[in-house]
Structure 1
Amino acid sequence: MNIEQAKRREISDSPEFQLLRRAHRRSGVRMTAVGVGGFLLYVLLSSFAPELMNTSLHGHLTLGLALGLGQFVVMALIARRHIVHTRTHVDPIVRGFRTQARARRPQPEQSRRPARSPAPRRSEGYRTW
């Protein structure tokens, strides 16, 4: 195990990181349950209550069609909620871990630095995506 892997292991074993993972997983399970539950409700109503789904709401718009179109709204709301949750709860903690990891990284000596700085490297770990 090299030094970089040891640092990653140290961060991933920390209680703050475990709390972050647990909270992120819990929110993902909730959002998935809402999405799948809404779709399942629509399918069950279509199968077992066709007369209810054929109820006219306005003109040719039926309850079934309105609920079917509502699935797009539900998915958009879930996606938006996931983005908000990630930005407000996950990203600040991840930035803290990234700062800790960079602070522990040994800085190269000035004499060994090239004259022209290379392009910045992408972060290797702890990304939200």
Structure 2
Amino acid sequence: MSRHSLGFGGPPPHPEATPPQAERPTVAHDPAYLSLRHAHRRFGVKATATAVGGFLLYVLLSSFTPGLMNRSLSGHLTLGLALGLGQFVLMAVIVWRYLVHLRTRVTPVVRGLRGLARHHEATGGGRGPAHPEPPAAPYDRGYRSW
């Protein structure tokens, strides 16, 4: 059931209002976009494998080697507790590497693609963005996460 038949949204677009898909240039076929997707997917697979592998190792050690996990390291601190707390450290390192990955590999490519799309829009080559960006607030200039 479509959104239109349920009464959501506006009327369906007029068939002549949109050019055929083959004529409309898309960012999805740009080599920079394809390399961005590849790099982002590769990082996601590595980060997920690291997180799941670390957790699985901890669970398997806890299940099959209780004597090792109950070994005291210092006072009441056991190896199992230290490895359990190490899960938080592992997640923090993965999040930190993700932010570095975004800052160094993703953001420059996204800025270039955004500039290319704006240039294409300014020259009248396309229909324009489906959701135009609101104008930046004066305090929003130069914002960087972390």
Could you list the runs of 5+ residues in structure 2 that have no partner in the other structure? 1-16, 125-133, 137-146
Residue number among 117, 137, 145 corresponding to 1:101 in the alignment? 117
User: In 1, distance between residues paired with 2:60 and 2:117?
Assistant: 50
Residue number among 50, 55, 70 corresponding to 1:39 in the alignment? 55
TM-score (norm 2): 0.68
Q: Is the 8 A contact 2:32 2:113 kept in 1?
A: no
- Identity %, equivalent residues: 58
Aligned residue number for residue 42 of structure 2: 26
1:11-70 per-residue CA deviation (whole Å, 9 max, x = no partner) reads: 111122111101110011001100000000000000000000000000000000000000
CA 1:47/1:32 → structure 2, altered by over 3 Å: closer, same or farther?
same
The runs of 4+ residues in structure 1 deviating greater than 2 Å are none
Could you list the runs of 5+ residues in structure 1 that have no partner in the other structure? 109-118, 122-129
Aligned residue number for residue 77 of structure 2: 61
Amino acid paired to 1:120: P
Q: Does the residue aligned with 1:120 lie in a helix, a strand or coil? A: coil
User: In 1, distance between residues paired with 2:18 and 2:97?
Assistant: 38
CA RMSD in angstroms, aligned pairs only: 2.1
Task: From the two aligned structures, give the one with the greater helix fraction.
Answer: 1
User: In 2, distance between residues paired with 1:104 and 1:93?
Assistant: 16
Q: Is the 8 A contact 2:72 2:79 kept in 1?
A: yes
Say yes or no: does 1:120 pair with 2:126: no
Aligned residue number for residue 70 of structure 1: 86
Aligned-pair CA distance for 1:106: 3.0
Aligned residue number for residue 32 of structure 2: 16
Deviates more, 1:99-108 or 1:55-64: 99-108
Q: Is the 8 A contact 2:40 2:106 kept in 1?
A: yes
